[in-house]
Amino acid sequence: MELGKDELGIEAQQPVEPQQRPTEFQPQRYPPPYARPKQGSPAEDILKNPMYIGLAILVSMFLMWLGILFEAIGVGSSDPGQLKTLVQLAIITFSLGLTGLTTTLFFVGLGRGDYPQWVRFALIFGAVLMVILGMITMLGGAFASNAFSHL
> What residue spans define the domains of the chain?
45-145
Q: What is the pTM of this model?
A: 0.63
pLDDT for position 151? 47
User: How would DSSP label each residue in 71-118?
Assistant: HHHHHT---HHHHHHHHHHHHHHHHHHHHHHHHHHHHHHHH-TTS-HH
Q: How far is CA 43 from the centre of its chain?
A: 11
pLDDT for position 125? 95
pLDDT per residue, tens digit, the chain (151 aa), is 455 555 555 555 555 566 666 566 666 676 667 666 677 777 777 778 889 999 999 999 999 999 989 888 888 778 888 888 888 888 899 989 999 999 999 999 988 888 889 999 999 999 999 988 888 877 766 665 665 555 4
